Amino acid sequence: MSGPELAGLAAEQRRPRVTEIEQHGIDTIPAAERSSGPFDLFRIQFGGANTFATVILGTFPVLLGLSLPQAVAATLLGVVVGALILMPMGLFGPRTGTNNAVSSGAHFGVRGRVVGSFLSLLTAIAFYSISVWVSGDAIVGAATRLFGVADSDLLRGVIYAVLGALVIVVVVYGYQFMLLVNKIVVVGNTVLMLLGIVAYASLFDFGYDPGPDAYALGSFWPTFILSALIVMGNPISFGAFLGDWSRYIPAGTSAPKLLSATFLGQLATLVPFLFGVGTATLVAGEVDYVVALIQVSPIWYAWLLVVVAFLGGMSTGVTSLYGTGLDFSSVFPRLSRVQASLFIGALAFVFILVGRLAFDLLGSVNAFIGAIVICTTPWMIIMMLGYVVRRGHYSAEDVQVFNQGRTGGLYWFSDGVNWRGMVAWIPAAVAGLLFANYPPLIVGPFSASVAGGIDVSLPVSLGLAAVIYLALLFAFPEPRYVFGPQGPRWVPARDGEVPPVTDDPRASTHRAGRRTPTSAGMEK
């Protein structure tokens, strides 16, 4: 057997079986086990979003009163801008070998990185809940039409529980099983959604326009911007999760390939988004979109919609819950990845029941998407700016210090927190909330008095985070040792010694491995 054949065989042997339960938590993925590539990153993003959860977000521009052309324009704007903001977040995983929340410890401090863990939890609950909601509703709609079963809260609750449990099973098996599910969804759901062109050809109205009186926020531009921001919430939601998957990509993978994989993966989500836009015009005014769509569908396509909803619910739920299970287990080291996933899954299921059966679904989704966009984008811009000034240099060992139950290292800063990143993120997120307009649950006091009621929370939070963070890097330079051998780019640095890595007496469990302490010193 030739050398290349042996190398190929070795690479194949390093890839775990789909039915093998993943053993890694958020510890650094060894080079020998990084068997994925940029195309896998593309597939897992597209597969994770090629679902009814994304379709639901695609219906919002129409539900908010836009015409068909306006809704398409808002969707295109939201997807493209969101993808551009998201692109750099796929660069961290290959360099650090861990997820983005842990990687953020390089800029927020190894303890301050819990900000990323919070954002991951928020996103996971939102999208896991949406995926189970819409998949369950599709099955209920099919049961009521095809079998004459009476709709009820009990029926929905039982179906939600079954779907939620199936998602957790896949999450427990881990990355390889999740990758398989997304490979199926990329092809399967794309074909099934495109068949909708045939199914709804006789019903579709290209001139759909409910008129200006239908605008949810009273006029065109505020409603248009809100619609684009809701759509943008989908790509932005991947910001905390890209590292969960890109950490399995070799460290030497070129940045352009990683950037392209993310941008194209998000651009491909226009398939489910535009499916949502188009089909929303068919059932405009109905309270329950999924059930109503099944009722107006040809009988052959009603069956297919159930398949789309089921596969999509699995895909979105798994990609959301997997990363949070990883991260939660690192914040609470007494819990393994599997235990943490079970806990978060149970918490999210309670939210599903309360949010779907007791409150307004539209308002619940709107509020969570708004919170994700407002809080995650300034965190992302701080990460991106940090990547640029650090020249992409990171220590895979030192970002793991907190997870190991230790203190010190390159990213210890002040008691484990880099206050530069925290001081930039907190006011940016708060300011975004003050200017936000995601009715009915998130309506900031300045949302109606600025820019004619147009939601300017995104430029406010992004701009404020960038300005404050850069100003702090100049006014209070970071230690030279965090920048690596090439030194900082564009910002000053100060001299200092690396804090020694020692066991933290307050930590009772060390699960992620140990490392050799570095030289002595503290940030001054």
Compute the distance between CA of residue 318 and CA of residue 169 in angstroms, rounded to an integer: 9
Whether the ω angle into residue 61 lies within 30 degrees of 0, i.e. cis, is no
Q: 3-state DSSP call for residue 478?
A: strand
* pLDDT at position 6 over 80: no
Looking at residues 404-423, what average pLDDT do you find?
95
Determine the average pLDDT of the residues in 22-41: 84
Angle (nearest 5°) at CA 369 between 365 and 371? 120
pLDDT at 360: 65
Kindly report the CATH class assigned to 35-503. mainly alpha
Span of 169-178, 253-262, 378-387, 508-517 with lowest mean pLDDT: 508-517
pLDDT exceeds 60 at position 14: no
Tell me the per-residue pLDDT of 430-455, one tens digit each, with 9 for 90 and over. Answer: 999 999 888 777 888 887 667 677 88
Alpha helices, H only, 238-360: 242-246, 255-267, 270-280, 289-296, 299-331, 337-357
Q: Please answer whether residues 98 and 117 qualify as being in contact, where contact means their C-beta atoms are separated by less than 8 angstroms.
A: no
Per-residue burial over 380-409, b = 16 or more CB atoms within 10 Å of its CB, e = otherwise: bbbbbbbbebbebbbbbbbbbbbbbbbbbb
Q: By mean pLDDT, which of 78-82, 130-134, 247-251, 426-430 is the weakest?
A: 130-134
Least confident of 20-24, 344-348, 380-384, 487-491: 20-24
Mean pLDDT of the region 141-166: 86
Task: Look at residue 483 and tell me whether its pLDDT is greater than 50.
Answer: yes
Question: CB–CB of 461/370 below 8 Å?
Answer: no
Determine the Cα–Cα distance for residues 138 and 279; give it in Å rounded to an integer: 14
334 vs 340: CA distance, rounded Å: 9
Q: Measuring CA to CA, how many Å separate 161 from each of 55, 173, 185, 229?
A: 22, 19, 22, 30
**How far is it, in rounded angstroms, from Cα 245 to Cα 252?**
15
pLDDT for 13 beyond 70: no
Report which DSSP code applies to 51.
S
Q: What is the structure's pLDDT at 8?
A: 43
* pLDDT value at residue 361: 62
pLDDT on residue 522: 38
The pLDDT, as a whole number, for residue 515 is 39
Task: Specify the pLDDT at position 70.
Answer: 98
pLDDT of res. 384:
97
- Per-residue confidence band for 26, with pLDDT thresholds at 50, 70 and 90: confident
The residue among 396, 392, 343 whose CA lies nearest residue 512 is: 396
Q: Is the pLDDT of residue 299 over 80?
A: yes
Q: What residue ranges do the domains of the chain occupy? A: 35-503
Among the ranges given (253-262, 263-272, 328-337, 423-432), the one the predictor scored with the smallest mean pLDDT: 328-337
* pLDDT tens figures, 310-359: 877 777 777 777 767 766 766 776 777 777 778 887 887 787 777 666 66
Listed residue (111, 54, 211, 193) closest to 411, CA to CA = 111
* pLDDT score at 517: 36
Residue 190 has pLDDT above 80, yes or no: yes
Confidence label for 220 from pLDDT (cuts 50, 70 and 90): very high
**What SS3 class is residue 75?**
helix
Q: Which of 10-14, 58-62, 502-506 has the highest mean pLDDT?
A: 58-62
Distance between CA atoms of 152 and 163, rounded to whole angstroms?
17
With CA atoms as reference, report the closest residue to 433 among 483, 514, 377, 349.
377
> SS3 string of 403-465?
HHCEECCCCCCECCECHHHHHHHHHHHHHHHHHCEECCCEECCCCCCCHHHCCCHHHHHHHHH
pLDDT tens figures, 102-146: 999 999 999 999 999 888 888 887 788 878 887 888 888 888 888
Token pair of 81 as six digits: 């801008």
**Is 213 or 188 the better-scoring residue by pLDDT?**
213
User: Where residue 509 falls among pLDDT bands split at 50, 70, 90?
Assistant: very low
Please give the average per-residue pLDDT across 172-195, as a whole number. 80
Report the residue count for the chain: 524
Confidence of residue 15 (pLDDT cuts 50, 70, 90): low
Cα 102–475–415 angle (5° rounding)? 40
Is-contact 353 133, C-beta < 8 A?
Answer: no
